[in-house]
Structure 1
Amino acid sequence: MASVCVEINRRVDLERDQLSVNGQSVAAEKKVYLMLNKPRGLITSAQDEKNRDTVFSCFTGATLPHIGPVGRLDKASEGLLLFTNDTQWAARLTDPASHLDKIYHVQIDSLATPALIAAMQAGVIMDDGTPLKAKRVTLLRSGEKNAWLEVVLDEGKNRHIRRLLEANQINTLRLMRVAIGGLLLGELAKGEWRELSAAEVAGLKA
C-alpha cells in the first residue's frame, strides 16, 4: 500500500516516488541533449546585461524544457556547443578531471612554424600564474600569410587558445570547435541544432 509523505526535507527518488502538488501529478522533466553549431557573434548566456544576442536565439520557436550550455564558446568563436537540462551529465563533461578532448580548427595571422607548434604543446605560464598548453597541435594547411591549425585541448580555461597564441605573438583570425570527445560537428549548418542520439549521449559519458 502506498504511503503519503508530507515532509519538506525528504529526498525524492523521481524513478520510484509519485509526486503531486494540490492534487495534480508532477512528473520528472524529460532529459534532453542537444548540439548547436554556434555562429560567431553570439554570447554563450541566457541573458546579457548589454542586450547582445545570445546562443538561445538559435532555439527561438522550439518547444524545449529549460536548458543550459555545457561549457562555453566566447563571442568571437564558433562551432560545436552542447546544451542539456541534465546537470549531472553536464558537470561530468566540464569536470577538469574528465580530460575530455576538445578539437578546434584555428586560423592564425602568420605561418605556422615547427617552433610555434612546439611552443604551444610545451605551454606557457601567464602573468596571472595560469598554465596554458595544448595537448596536440597539427598544421592543417598554409596560405601565403596565414595558416590553419588543429588544436586539441583536454582542459579548457577562459580564452585558452587565444591567450596561448597571444603569448607566442600570434593573433587568432578564426576559431571553430569541431569535436568534443567522439562527437563531431559534422555537416550541421551554422545556427542549426539537433538532438543527440542515445549512443552519442552514452559515448560522452564514457
Structure 2
Amino acid sequence: MPGATPRHGLARALSKRGVCSRTQAAEWIRAGRVRVDGRIVRDPEFPTIAGRHRITVDEQPLDAAAPLYLVLNKPRGLVTTARDEHDRDTVYTCFESAGLPWIAPVGRLDKASEGLLLFSNDPAWAARITDPATGPDKRYHVQVDRRPDDDTLDALADGILADGEPLHAKSIALLRAGDRTAWLDIVLDEGRNRQIRRLLAAFDFDVLRLVRVAIGPLELGDLAKGAWRPLTETEVAALRGD
C-alpha cells in the first residue's frame, strides 16, 4: 500500500539500530532477552514498525548506537567473519583490545587476500557501499606468476563466462614486472565471489598476492598491516556518494 509504514522482522529491527548483527539479534530473541511492548517475543521474524513498538533487551530500552565507520589494513590469513566454524582467526582479532561496540565488515576479503577493509554499524551506509549500482569501484594490486602480454591484458578486461557467471575487470594494467613475476592494477565495479582469482585462473595465472588498495576515493595509504583507524566525516560522505 503506497505510503504504508514499513514493517521489519524483530531481528532485522535490532540489527538496523547498529547494536548487533542479525544473527546475534536472533540468538537474543530465542533466549527470551527481547521484549516488544513489555512482552517477551521469541520469534526473530516477529513484525515490528519503527517508532510504534517499544523494544527492550534485558528489560533495558534499546537506543540506536552511535554510528561508527572504520578502515582496517587486513593481514593475510584472517577470515572475514565474526565467527568461524573451523576456529580460524578472524579479522576481529585486529580489534580485540579496542573495546569497540558491535561492527560488521562492509564487503569482504578472502583469507588469502590483504588490504583495505571497511567496518561499520550503519547498515544503510554499508548497503550503499556494497550495492553494485551505487557502490564505488574497488582497486587491487595483484602479483601473478608471470608477465602478461598486451593481448592477454585485453582479454582479461573483456572477461569470461564462468559457470554461467560473467567475470570481468573494469580496467586492468601492468604495474611492473620482474623476471618471474608481475604486478597488475585491477579495478572492479562489482564484487563477485573470488572474482579476480577466478578470472586470472581462467588464463592460467597463479595469484601470489592480492591487495585491495582503494575503495572509491579512499586509499589504503600507509596504514600498517593489521592496523585500523576511524574514517573522517568527509571520507564517510565521499564513500556514500554525497
TM-score by length of 2: 0.76
Matched, 1:58 2:94: yes
Q: 1:11 aligns with which of 39, 49, 61?
A: 49
**Equivalent-residue separation in structure 1 for 2:128 and 2:57 (angstroms):** 32
Q: Secondary structure at the match of 2:49?
A: coil
Following superposition, the deviation at residue 25 of structure 1 comes to 5.2
Matched, 1:171 2:238: no
Spell out, residue by residue over 1:12-68, the C-alpha distance to the aligned partner (whole angstroms, 9 max, x if none).
349xx9987898654321110000000000000011111110000000111211111
Q: What amino acid maps onto 1:49 in structure 2?
A: E
Contact 2:72 2:115 in 1 (8 A): yes
Change (3 A) 1:34 1:24: same
**Equivalent-residue separation in structure 1 for 2:93 and 2:187 (angstroms):** 29
Contact 1:35 1:196 in 2 (8 A): yes
2:180 corresponds in structure 1 to 145
How well do the aligned residues superpose, as a CA RMSD in angstroms?
A: 2.3
Following superposition, the deviation at residue 91 of structure 1 comes to 1.1
**Equivalent-residue separation in structure 2 for 1:18 and 1:132 (angstroms):** 46
Spell out, residue by residue over 1:86-133, the C-alpha distance to the aligned partner (whole angstroms, 9 max, x if none).
11111111112125210000000001210121011111001x111000
Spell out, residue by residue over 1:139-168, the C-alpha distance to the aligned partner (whole angstroms, 9 max, x if none).
110100111010000001111001100111
Contact 2:172 2:187 in 1 (8 A): yes
Change (3 A) 1:197 1:99: closer
Contact 2:128 2:135 in 1 (8 A): no
Matched, 1:156 2:191: yes
Q: Secondary structure at the match of 1:81?
A: strand
Matched, 1:188 2:188: no
Contact 1:42 1:52 in 2 (8 A): yes
Change (3 A) 1:47 1:122: same
Matches within 5 A, 1:42-191: 42-126=78-162, 128-191=163-226
Q: Secondary structure at the match of 2:98?
A: coil
Q: Which has the higher contact order (CA 8 A, sep 6+)?
A: 1
**Equivalent-residue separation in structure 1 for 2:155 and 2:135 (angstroms):** 21
Contact 2:140 2:214 in 1 (8 A): yes
Contact 1:19 1:27 in 2 (8 A): no
> What are structure 2's unaligned runs of at least 5 residues?
1-36, 40-46
Contact 2:70 2:119 in 1 (8 A): yes
Q: What amino acid maps onto 1:41 in structure 2?
A: G
**Equivalent-residue separation in structure 1 for 2:135 and 2:55 (angstroms):** 38
Contact 1:78 1:177 in 2 (8 A): yes
**Equivalent-residue separation in structure 2 for 1:44 and 1:192 (angstroms):** 15
Q: What amino acid maps onto 1:205 in structure 2?
A: R
> What are structure 1's unaligned runs of at least 5 residues?
1-5
**Equivalent-residue separation in structure 1 for 2:120 and 2:210 (angstroms):** 23
Q: What amino acid maps onto 1:109 in structure 2?
A: D
**Equivalent-residue separation in structure 1 for 2:59 and 2:90 (angstroms):** 38
